[in-house]
Amino acid sequence: MLARKTAVWLLVAVLCFVGSVPVGAAKVVPQDETAPVWRAKVETRFGANGAGEVFVNSRLVLRFRTASGGYSAFRRAEIAADRLGGAIAGGLSAGDIVADTATDRANPRLKGAGQIFASADKAEGRAAGVSPVLLVRGWASNLRTALGMPGIIASDKTILVPLGESRTVRLSGVATGDLQITSASGTIRVPETNDDTDAATKPAIVSLSGSKANTVWTIRGTSAGRDTLTFERGGASVSVAVRVQPYAGSFAPPKPVVVTGIGGAPVERVARYAAACALASATVTSGAVARVQTDSVSVAMPLAPGAQSAVTVPVTLTGQDMISVRRVVSVPVRNEALPRVPTDALMYSNDPERVTKYGTLFAARVPVSAPNAPGATRVLFHHQSALTANAAFVVELLNDSDAPATVHIVGSGEGPVRDTVWVGYRAASEFVRDYQADTGVIVQLPPKTRLPLLSTNLSPGHTVSGLMQVRPLSGVPPMVRVAAEQPGDARADAESWQTAPLLPAEYAPGTTTLAYPQSDNVYPKPLKQVAAPYEVGGAWAFVSFGHDPLEATQGDKRLLGNYGVFYEVTATAHNGSDKPAKVRAVFVPTAGLAGGVFLVDGKYVEVPQTNLPKEPTLASYMLEPGETRIIRITTLPLSGSNYPARIVIRP
């Protein structure tokens, strides 16, 4: 009876658990070398004080401290390891492991997939310092953990590698043996040699650097595309999907926004140009686009002359199969002083006023001023769409030279709206304020480029109007072009204040000359100075503006209404009576509905629109007996209004 019990014990009591560092010789349990998949590695080792230890995937799972049935602790470990190795070769997994404490509580068993690997009796428990039940449960927990350890792991399953740059993948896991690397494309394979400095053959998508002994491999993107790398060791493998993509672009330091005048240019204009400078600082990869990430850019204005600031513009570069690049571009802003110069010419784009077909409405080169007396050119445009569909309305500068050109821009445009009088009034109101303070923006036009100063959608029945001043500072003076393009025309693609290349079709065949016919509506010296004496009690002083039209620089055009021409009125009012007398300056719209913008003794006075019999008072004065008052009034005929009109000095 005793012999039978001993035999049973020899079959089941094989392993024991404790957690000390193994010492002494090690034995690797042979595994199925032909297995197509990776299997956990089982080995036995000598432990301290004659213990026998079983390791799975280099992790201690159980330890025997006592001999039993004539078998030493180490021999018992060998038997347990042999059984585990066979079971693992048959597909044993972590989920199969159980601690059987119910069948024989005095001798609990470690089991898996129907097999008994080990059991613990009281002697083994006393040696381990725990009960047999707790000991076997510990074995089961350790074995599950060890069996669950992967053979090979990659730090990343997918890697995005920028073209021309490198990224690393770190390998780990418990599988042993030489590392083999292959690719789905078949362009990468690490040779099977014992040289730890093996290099991969030149791939189509990536190159690899590392060695079979390395746990970290460097992947360098050599051309755009996709591939899958497979790392295999000891039957265990892991795949890493690799994408190699170029960046959508890069950034250089942006050019500064240079403003002029008291307080600097209007906020909206500075914001638009700052956004354009931020976009221009990006060099985009072919097929990529650059976009400002917000509809509004915050600008700290006004900016005093000589002061500096910055505008932050978030820009994103994107493209198909490219790595997006996001940057908050800090665009410098500084205010520079420019000396005042006269206005030498007026470009008038109002012929025809009603747009009935797509195309160029005005084109002329900014006149060349005398080198010792540089001047500026005023640009007036006022057009109403009589088309049946939308048009892309643009006012732009064209630099067709091989060198950059620098210009100073004052003023802008208004609309489109349906009210032709109001839009002309608003355009003049904004321009007069900017012109008086010389508030503008200095911009550079690269060679062979266009710069839209205004680019907007013009709907049927709507009117767009504007006044601008263009002053060349360096380079060849640009051409000014006003057009109503058909939607989709490449010439209307650029946003306001963003430069774009000139198109080959814009040049005359076989030349480097732009093919746009030059307009005759260019007029010299758009300024009239008028003296108006008035004596209290005498005849009223009448100052008409809009009469005596300017004649074009070339051709026989006449500027009827003198729209865009400044009138500087100096009225001398004298009270020769012996009593105080009231004197007024009034606006009289003699030709019909009209608006007016006036600078009266340095103060702005605006009349959005009026008609007879109304005669709005611009200013009034009380003159003492014998007093003489000089009244200075500056105004100009407004687009969309009816001229001639009058300023009358009277009681």
The pLDDT confidence band at residue 28, using thresholds 50, 70 and 90, is: very low
Q: In 3-state terms, what secondary structure has residue 588?
A: strand
Give the pLDDT mean for 25-42: 54
Q: Which of 243-257, 263-277, 366-380 has the highest mean pLDDT?
A: 243-257
- Regarding pTM above 0.75, the answer is no
pLDDT per position as a tens digit, 581-604 = 999 999 999 999 998 999 999 999
Between the CA of residue 156 and those of 217, 228, 261, 299, what are the distances in Å?
12, 12, 57, 43
Query: Which of 601, 603, 581 has its CA nearest to residue 650?
Result: 581
Measured between alpha carbons, how far apart are the two ends of the chain, in Å? Answer: 144
Paired tokens of 605: 């006075």
The least confident of 47-51, 421-425, 491-495 is: 491-495
Paired tokens of 141: 């927990």
pLDDT per position as a tens digit, 143-185 = 999 999 999 999 999 999 999 999 999 999 988 888 888 888 8
For residues 29 and 88, the answer to whether their CB atoms sit within 8 Å is no
Average pLDDT of the chain, as a whole number: 87
The pLDDT confidence band at residue 10, using thresholds 50, 70 and 90, is: very low
611: left (phi over 0), alpha (psi -120 to 50) or beta: beta
Give the pLDDT mean for 538-559: 92
Between the CA of residue 642 and those of 387, 551, 638, what are the distances in Å?
24, 20, 8
In the chain, what percentage of residues exceed pLDDT 70? 91
- Is the pLDDT confidence value at 213 over 50? yes
Amino acid identity for residue 572 in this structure: T
- pLDDT given for residue 147 in this prediction: 92
- Is the pLDDT confidence value at 414 over 50? yes
DSSP assignment letter at 579: S
The pLDDT confidence band at residue 20, using thresholds 50, 70 and 90, is: very low
Give the pLDDT mean for 315-322: 94
DSSP assignment letter at 640: T
Give the pLDDT mean for 53-69: 92
Q: In 3-state terms, what secondary structure has residue 80?
A: helix
For residues 79 and 126, the answer to whether their CB atoms sit within 8 Å is no
- pLDDT given for residue 416 in this prediction: 94
Residue appearing with tokens 């209004």: 641
- Is the pLDDT confidence value at 200 over 60? no
- Is the pLDDT confidence value at 62 over 90? yes
- pLDDT given for residue 32 in this prediction: 39
502 CB neighbour count, 10 Å cutoff: 16
Phi and psi at 75, nearest 5°, equal -65, -40
Q: In 3-state terms, what secondary structure has residue 410?
A: strand
- pLDDT given for residue 579 in this prediction: 93
Between the CA of residue 73 and those of 83, 133, 142, 414, what are the distances in Å?
16, 19, 19, 97
For residues 437 and 266, the answer to whether their CB atoms sit within 8 Å is no
Give the alpha-carbon dihedral of 384, 386, 387, 388, to 10 degrees. Answer: 120
Rounded Cα distance between 548 and 545, Å, is: 8
For residues 514 and 507, the answer to whether their CB atoms sit within 8 Å is yes
In the chain, what percentage of residues exceed pLDDT 90? 65
- pLDDT given for residue 5 in this prediction: 34
Rounded Cα distance between 46 and 44, Å, is: 7
Rounded Cα distance between 551 and 190, Å, is: 84
**Which residues have CB under 8 Å from 2's CB, separation 6+?**
none
**Which residues have CB under 8 Å from 511's CB, separation 6+?**
none
Residue appearing with tokens 């089941």: 12
Rg (CA), the chain: 45
Rounded Cα distance between 148 and 155, Å, is: 18
Give the β-pairing of 566-574 and 527-535: parallel
CATH architecture of 526-650: Sandwich (2.60)
Specify whether domain 153-245 bears CATH 2.60.120.460. no
The least confident of 2-6, 108-112, 204-208, 448-452 is: 2-6
Query: Which of 506, 502, 505 has its CA nearest to residue 493?
Result: 502
Rounded Cα distance between 71 and 52, Å, is: 11
- pLDDT given for residue 39 in this prediction: 87
Q: E strands within 536-580?
A: 541-545, 550-551, 558-559, 566-574
Rounded Cα distance between 197 and 212, Å, is: 8
- pLDDT given for residue 370 in this prediction: 67
**Which residues have CB under 8 Å from 72's CB, separation 6+?**
50, 52
Rounded Cα distance between 412 and 266, Å, is: 10
- pLDDT given for residue 510 in this prediction: 84
Give the pLDDT mean for 299-322: 88
pLDDT per position as a tens digit, 100-153 = 999 988 899 999 998 999 999 999 999 999 999 999 999 999 999 999 999 999
Partners of 606 in the β-ladder: 597
- pLDDT given for residue 105 in this prediction: 86
For residues 347 and 377, the answer to whether their CB atoms sit within 8 Å is yes
pLDDT per position as a tens digit, 359-398 = 999 999 998 876 666 789 999 999 999 999 999 999 999 9
Rounded Cα distance between 170 and 154, Å, is: 6
Paired tokens of 28: 């690797």
Say if residue 644 is preceded by a cis peptide, omega within 30 of 0: yes
Tell me which H or E stretch contains 433: helix 420-437
- Is the pLDDT confidence value at 21 over 50? no
350 CB neighbour count, 10 Å cutoff: 23
Between the CA of residue 499 and those of 90, 493, 504, what are the distances in Å?
72, 10, 16
For residues 204 and 244, the answer to whether their CB atoms sit within 8 Å is no
Q: Is 184 exposed, middle or buried (0-12, 13-18, 19+ CB in 10 A)?
A: middle
Give the β-pairing of 376-385 and 343-349: parallel
For residues 448 and 399, the answer to whether their CB atoms sit within 8 Å is yes
Residue appearing with tokens 């010789």: 25
**Which residues have CB under 8 Å from 200's CB, separation 6+?**
181, 188, 189, 190, 207, 208, 209
- Is the pLDDT confidence value at 215 over 50? yes
DSSP assignment letter at 542: E
- Is the pLDDT confidence value at 4 over 80? no
